[in-house]
Amino acid sequence: MSAIHTTPAERLVMMANQIAKAFAAQGEERAVMKTAAHIKAFWDPRMRRKIDEHVMAGGAGLEPYALTALKQLMAGTEKPMPASEHRPTDQGSDAG
């Protein structure tokens, strides 16, 4: 495999897959919810636009949880994080 992600879309696919993987152990529902919340909180609009275009073009390379989360974000159907979860936008999150 090539280790260098030469195009911006490839880099974003790698990032989305890594985010989804970090949450994968929590099961599909929570992993998808948290992946969507993380991307929404920390991706600049032009990164979102670029990955949206990639999803519309078929979403090559995206793992299932990442793809589902991105499709939900595009449709505005992502699940809000309940207050019982540590949300990425909560004060004290240092993921920024």
Partner 1 sequence: MTAPTYRHVSDEATRAMFEALWGVPINPEPGLRIPNMLDAAVEGTFKALYIQGEDILQSDPNTHHVAAGLAAMECVVVQDLFLNETARYAHIFLPGSTFLEKDGTFTNAERRIQMVRKVMSPKNGYGDWEITQLMANAIGLNWNCTHPSQIMDEIAKLTPTFAGVSFKVLDEMGSVQWPMNEKNPLGSPIMHIESFSHGKGKFVLTEYVPTDERTGPRYPLLLTTGRILSQYNVGAQTRRTENSRWHEEDRLEIHPHDAENRGIRDGDWVQIKSRAGETALRALITDRVAPGVVYTTFHHPLTQANVITTDYSNWATNCPEYKVTAVEVRASNGPTNYQEEYDRFSKETRRIEPLIAAE
Residues that bind partner 1 (CB under 8 A): 1-5, 8, 11, 14-15, 18-19, 21-26, 38, 41-47, 85-86, 88-96
> Is-contact 34 57, C-beta < 8 A?
no
SS (H, E, C) 27-89: CHHHHHHHHHHHHHHHCCHHHHHHHHHHHHCCCCCCCHHHHHHHHHHHHCCCCCCCCCCCCCC
What's the closest the beta carbon of residue 4 comes to partner 1, in angstroms? 5
Shortest separation between residue 66's beta carbon and partner 1, angstroms: 11
Judged by CB, which is closer to partner 1: 21, or 79?
21
Nearer to partner 1, 8 or 56 (CB): 8
